[in-house]
Copies of this chain bind each other. A is one copy, B any other.
Amino acid sequence: MLNTGTELLLGNTLNTHGAWFGRELFKLGLRITRQTTVPDGDAIREALEESVSRADAVIVTGGLGPTSDDLTREITAEVLGIELITDEAALRSLEAFFAVRGLKMAPSNLKQALVPVGADVLPNPNGTAPGVYVPPRLNGRANCAVFLLPGPPRELYPMFHDEVVPKLKALSGIESFPPALELKFTGVGESDFHQQIDAQLAAVPGLEYGYCAHVGEVDLRLIGEEDAVRSGRQIALDAFASKLVSDDGSSLERVVVRLLTERNIKLATAESCTGGLIANRITNVPGSSAVFTHGFVTYANEAKVDLLGVSETDLEQHGAVSEPVARQMAEGALRVSGADIAVSITGIAGPSGGSEEKPVGTAWIGLAMKDRPTLAIKVYHPRKRKDFKQAASQSALDWVRRRLAE
């Protein structure tokens, strides 16, 4: 894949084409072997020459507009050694595009109807730039299919689905696609996977796998034939079953909301150090309003006392970041909200406020349930403020998940 556009390299525009095409092509059983971004203008020449000599198909985005630095069409024809001619049908639909909008077409738009001789024009109902498909047989120098597509997503996405997908299916001859699985784990690091199961995964014939580490989470991706993926999944579960959040790509908060909904259980939150992040994550999930009613952000000690009934004596004696305070926050949230389960967290996000006994990164989680003893768990995430909050919210939500899954 070759993306052209100076704005992508200056950071004005985030290049979302890579991720979008990655997902769409993966569904077709195809992989991007390399993605390259070059500025507008002549830089595309060398990149395209390299690409067509390396790949079975090249998708180029951008540079099909009417301005002087839109050179994708011209340079592609040169690189492939094919002449450009005006396509009459493309010209008529270009004229129609302007006529429908009551606009006069500028002479500069004429070049948008130019097409390499013998190539297919891909209609663009959403903009002025038609796409181009050069089949491998036309390409004298390399046996490579070339697609030229417009850059703006609103023009690109429909053209990809309507025009490019059928051609890619025909080119690849693939009828059905290998299964893929994404397993999310929390409370375990990427290096644990490497140490404990990497060798076993590598030994499964036909299995491709990869890790992606986020704050407080490791995603394991398994790709291959059904048997291979099943074996890979079993290896991961044998080692880390209790750490598994989901095997369908669902986020931890989505899994928690799903468990609450299935069990018809209501959750309340009482947050100090995470400052509302846990509630925010839960309410990112559509349908969370059925199971989440009350959230308390008790950032100050007075708030813990006033809203949740935490004991002032315990706050003084043990400090806000302590087991009794975490317990009382969770129990207070349960009582005040009338929920069935309440999770609390109190900790030191930093950068200041740490001590030798309670360094920055320390947090206590409380978990209260009706008619069940309250739990309190100490965690330690020595990270920067925002990462600490994310990791701490991850720990708290995971304790809710485990309690619900019991």
On A, residues with C-beta under 8 Å from B are 5-16, 18-24, 26, 31-40, 43, 47, 50, 65-69, 100-102, 106-109, 126, 128, 152, 154, 182, 190-195, 198, 202, 210-213, 215, 219, 221, 269, 271, 274-280, 282-284, 286, 288-289, 292-300, 302-303, 306-307, 336-338, 349-352, 380, 382-387, 389
Contact = CB atoms under 8 A, between A and B. Distances in A.
B19 A384 contact: no
A350 to B, nearest CB: 8
25 contacts: A8-B22, A9-B18, A10-B22, A12-B210, A15-B19, A18-B37, A33-B38, A35-B36, A65-B191, A66-B191, A67-B191, A67-B194, A108-B194, A154-B383, A154-B387, A275-B295, A276-B279, A279-B299, A283-B349, A293-B303, A294-B297, A294-B299, A294-B303, A296-B296, A307-B336
A350 B11 CA distance: 31
Contact of A7 (B191, B221, B295, B383): B221
A69 B386 CA distance: 29
A221 B10 contact: yes
Interface SS of chain A: mixed
A67 B297 contact: no
Contacts of A213: 65, 152
A36 B33 CA distance: 11
A154 B390 CA distance: 12
Contacts of A275: 279-280, 282-284, 288, 292, 295
A297 B269 contact: yes
A386 to B, nearest CB: 6
Closest 3 CB pairs of A and B: A275-B283, A295-B297, A11-B22
Contacts of A300: 289, 293-294
Contact of A11 (B15, B18, B194, B307): B18
Contacts of A102: 380
Contact of A20 (B11, B126, B221, B337): B11
Contact of A47 (B26, B34, B278): B34
Contacts of A20: 11
Contact of A190 (B65, B289, B295): B65
A288 B386 CA distance: 13
A67 B193 contact: yes
A287 B128 CA distance: 39
Nearest to A294: B303
A232 to B, nearest CB: 14
Contacts of A286: 350-352, 385
A329 B171 CA distance: 55
A74 to B, nearest CB: 15
B191 A106 contact: yes
A306 to B, nearest CB: 7
Contacts of A269: 276, 297
A8 B14 CA distance: 14
Contacts of A282: 275
A7 B59 CA distance: 19
A279 B280 CA distance: 9
Contacts of A277: 276, 280, 283
Given A8-B22, A106-B194, A293-B299, 4 more contacts: A11-B18, A12-B19, A31-B39, A276-B297
